[in-house]
Amino acid sequence: MPVEPFLPFTRPQIDDATIAGVAEVLRSGWISSGPQVKAFEAKLSEFFGGRPVRAFNSGTCTMEIALRIAGVGPGDEVITTPLSWVATANVVLEVGARPVFVDIDPVTRTIDLDRAEAAVTPRTRAVIPVDLAGLPVDRDRLYALAGKRGLRVVEDAAQSFGSTWKGRRIGSFGDFASFSFHANKNITTCEGGCLVLNDEREAALAEQYRLQGVVRTGHDGMEVEFPGGKYNMTDVAARIGLGQLPHLAEFTARRRELARAYFEEFDRPAVRSLGIGLPVANFTDSNWHMFQVVLPEERMDVRRSAVMEELKSAAIGTGVHYPAMHLFALYRRMGWKEGDFPNAEYAGRNLLTLPLFPAMARSDVSRVVRALSSVLENHGKP
Ligand SMILES: Cc1ncc(COP(=O)(O)O)c(C=O)c1O
């Protein structure tokens, strides 16, 4: 029986003032999209250096809407990584275009931009890079490629809220930037997302796609030129976001401290010799959304799920982010198969997300690394 309390791999942190603020919104008589959403969008726009920002009820829909605004549709190709939450490629299918996967760089675990360039065809319209675990894809090379080949970029920055590239916030420059405020993200609205856009014309289109294509004028004017979805954020969610934003800097700083602690623990000689793959030790740009290790499958006599099970028995939660998505039945039916992207497949089988969230203690990090090391020691191949 575990003696320690269960340590989840992540846990949201919502302060009492935010909870009281939500209660106020609930009592206010206006609980769907209204003044809180406007206020949240204004704060987000400030955060992103004055660029237009609109809030939505998920990160997924922000990517779909960005593709629609960019005019991506049937016959078009969109280059992306197979190592992401499946939303990244599903949205390409949703707009009727074809995702084109290219393998990851095994060190950063993000899209290999050389392979992305090699995959460009006359039908390529856009690229969706994913800042996995909060580590930004090289924005200099990304935008050099997009500029040279005339591609739109939809940054899947779902995990990189608060990350930077050479001192500039992700989302404060570039083309479309899409963020998620899902419960596991560095700041949350329970569910939600936002899209950073280039100009007011795109922002107006985003509003139309967000709510049934409707454009209102005056007190009673309404027009619809094309269909939209039902993707608006509620004021309840926006109030949570407003209460989360002021904590971002402290959350990110704490995540970085804990990530450093992981590196210290993994650097002990007895642990190093186990051959566990570590993430890039980036303490300037990454928001450390996750701390993910790669298990050394060739040295183990069990698979990842058994490791997870044993860690669970030791009261430690872990996660899988993500299986390589080209191997899901949906994408296999489109022609992808094992062996297409060896780096993503290896990572997809062996990545393990370890606990990392601001309220964790330094001693939790030691406990996790001790437990993982002991599991791997017990399961070494003879
Ligand atoms: C990399 C990535 N892309 C897209 C999404 C989609 O965001 P949401 O769950 O808010 O729709 C997520 C979050 O779950 C994500 O982690």
Average pLDDT, the chain: 97
Q: What's the pLDDT band for 367 if we cut at 50, 70, 90?
A: very high
Residues 167-223 have pLDDT tens digits of 999 999 999 999 999 999 999 999 999 999 999 999 999 999 999 999 999 999 999
> Does the Cβ of 158 fall within 6 Å of ligand 1?
yes
Best mutation site among 85, 154, 189 for ligand 1 pocket (most ligand atoms within 8 Å of CB): 85
What pLDDT sits at residue 62?
Answer: 98
Of 38, 148, 166, 185, the active-site residue reads 185
92 CA distance to ligand 1 middle (Å):
14
> Does the Cβ of 88 fall within 6 Å of ligand 1?
yes
> Does the Cβ of 80 fall within 6 Å of ligand 1?
no
262 CA distance to ligand 1 middle (Å):
25
Residues 119-170 have pLDDT tens digits of 999 999 999 999 999 999 999 999 999 999 999 999 999 999 999 999 999 9
Token couple for 202: 């795109």
> Does the Cβ of 84 fall within 6 Å of ligand 1?
yes
Distance separating alpha carbons of residues 13 and 35, to the nearest angstrom:
24
What pLDDT sits at residue 115?
Answer: 98
> Does the Cβ of 188 fall within 6 Å of ligand 1?
no
299 CA distance to ligand 1 middle (Å):
32
What pLDDT sits at residue 2?
Answer: 52
C-alpha distances in Å from residue 106, one per residue of 111, 295, 321, 345: 9, 13, 15, 10
Mean pLDDT confidence for 302-315? 98
Closest approach atom of ligand 1 to CA 321 = 16
Mean pLDDT confidence for 332-342? 98
Atom 8 of ligand 1 has which residue's CA nearest to it?
Answer: 59
For the entire predicted model, the pTM comes to 0.97
Question: Would the pLDDT of 269 be above 60?
Answer: yes
Question: Would the pLDDT of 3 be above 90?
Answer: no
Closest approach atom of ligand 1 to CA 131 = 1
Q: Is 185 a catalytic residue?
A: yes
Residues 220-243 have pLDDT tens digits of 999 999 999 999 999 999 999 999
What pLDDT sits at residue 382?
Answer: 78
158 CA distance to ligand 1 middle (Å):
5
Residues 8-60 have pLDDT tens digits of 999 999 999 999 999 999 999 999 999 999 999 999 999 999 999 999 999 99
Residues 61-117 have pLDDT tens digits of 999 999 999 999 999 999 999 999 999 999 999 999 999 999 999 999 999 999 999
133 CA distance to ligand 1 middle (Å):
11
Percent pLDDT > 90 in the chain is 98
Q: What's the pLDDT band for 319 if we cut at 50, 70, 90?
A: very high
270 CA distance to ligand 1 middle (Å):
36
> Does the Cβ of 289 fall within 6 Å of ligand 1?
no
> Does the Cβ of 159 fall within 6 Å of ligand 1?
yes
Atom 7 of ligand 1 has which residue's CA nearest to it?
Answer: 59
Mean pLDDT confidence for 283-305? 97
> Does the Cβ of 180 fall within 6 Å of ligand 1?
yes
> Does the Cβ of 59 fall within 6 Å of ligand 1?
yes
